A and B are shown apart, each in its own frame.
Chain A
Amino acid sequence: MRLLTHNMLSSNIKGVANGFPLRIVAEKVIEKPVEMNHDFLKNMFAKLDWKAFVDASRSLGYVELPDEADASMLESSEFLNKFHHALLELHLEEGALVCPETGRKFPVNKGIPNMLLHEDEV
């Protein structure tokens, strides 16, 4: 699971009012280089929840992203490289996503988050 996906997922347990963002418990993180696509990054920047993204990147052990960012920073290639790396090259391979309200853990195995709910959670 990459952080773009993390930015879209939330805990949908019945009764949870705000299941976003999911906290990350990282046991194994891997890096896979991919080609950079500027247009894609600009497009995603406008749609991302930046704070959730930065916190997520830090829980994967990547601390290069600033707390706050605005669109003008996309002109800097240094910023783009870091943004690209955190968004698309870091993979949470083993660990868990944790519901911010209930603390319920959604396990991540082989890079696949298991968001299935138990019977009493729907």
Chain B
Amino acid sequence: MNREKERKRMKLKQLEGLLGDLDQFSDPKVELEQYPTGPHITSRMLYTAENSFGDVSDRVVVDLGCGCGTLGLAAALLGADIVIGIDVDTDSLLTASTNAEELEVEIELVQCDVKHLDLRGQVVDTVIMNPPFGTRKKGADMDFLRAALKVASRAVYSLHKTSTREHIKRTALRDFNAKSAEVLCELRYDLPQLYKFHRKKEVDIAVDLWRFVPGTA
């Protein structure tokens, strides 16, 4: 293995390790589909965005529906200039704030509903998000995607159920004016048993990691 590769692999493991210590939802709210984004999936998502596309370091990054801040904090650790975490839930934002202090990184936090989000100027380069899958509240995933493509000027990274692939692609290109919509890889998402309605101890579902390029307004 060459040295460059070694360095990157080290950093990937390091990032995953740092994220593993973060606080997660203490009292998850089912109506918001609050599931933690695990360190494994987060570190790979952010690494792909950074190493394959240069969309993280020296960029302004928004974590939409940031929850406890895992994705946004990972972006900050990888050298994003500014990270803004946006969520509707007070408890999650306070946890994200504590997590940022723990990691000694700066992250801006804003409490807002994605349906009413508008960030003026073309300041935001990249949106990263793990939106609700829309299983509890139909269309919630699409509200996030619409907002993300409106806010980002460079790229949107998002996770969606593999079973919704065609729908996501069609809607992004046709309704949300995306220039491109590409599945980068398929991942297994471990959902721990957080809620009473989960019958199995752990559910493993197939999700796609997407990269969207927003159209020019």
Does B associate with A? yes
Residue numbers in A under 8 Å from B121 (CB-CB): 7-8, 47-49
Cβ–Cβ contact A116 & B58, under 8 A: no
Contact segment of A37-45, A56-64, A72-80: A37-45
Q: How far is the CA of A26 from the CA of B116 in the complex (A)?
A: 25
What's the A-B contact tally at a CB cutoff of 8 Å? 66
Cβ–Cβ contact B109 & A20, under 8 A: no
Residue numbers in B under 8 Å from A1 (CB-CB): 108-110
B209–chain A nearest beta-carbon distance, Å: 27
Produce 1/0 per residue, A62-99, CB < 8 A to B: 00000000000000000000000000000000000000
Output the nearest chain B residue to A121 by Cβ-Cβ distance: B116
A98–chain B nearest beta-carbon distance, Å: 16
Contact segment of B7-15, B48-56, B80-88: B80-88
Question: A10, A113, A122: which contacts B118 (Cβ < 8 A)?
Answer: A10
Cβ of A112 < 8 Å from any Cβ of B? yes
Q: How far is the CA of A39 from the CA of B60 in the complex (A)?
A: 13
Question: A47, A111, A117: which contacts B113 (Cβ < 8 A)?
Answer: A117
Question: B97, B112, B118: which contacts A111 (Cβ < 8 A)?
Answer: B97
Residue numbers in A under 8 Å from B122 (CB-CB): 47
Cβ–Cβ contact B116 & A117, under 8 A: yes
Residue numbers in A under 8 Å from B16 (CB-CB): none
Cβ–Cβ contact A110 & B94, under 8 A: yes
Cβ–Cβ contact A113 & B111, under 8 A: yes
Q: How far is the CA of A113 from the CA of B112 in the complex (A)?
A: 9
Cβ–Cβ contact B110 & A47, under 8 A: no
Cβ–Cβ contact A112 & B109, under 8 A: yes
Output the nearest chain B residue to A14 by Cβ-Cβ distance: B116
Cβ–Cβ contact A40 & B81, under 8 A: yes
Residue among B82, B88, B117, B122 having the largest count of chain A Cβ atoms under 10 Å: B82
- Give B contacts to A, CB under 8 Å: 58, 81-82, 84, 88, 90, 93-94, 97, 106, 108-113, 115-124
* 9 A-B interface contacts by CB (under 8 A): A2-B108, A7-B120, A110-B94, A110-B97, A112-B97, A113-B111, A115-B110, A116-B113, A122-B115
- Give A contacts to B, CB under 8 Å: 1-2, 4-5, 7-10, 12, 20, 32, 34, 37, 39-40, 44, 47-49, 110-117, 122
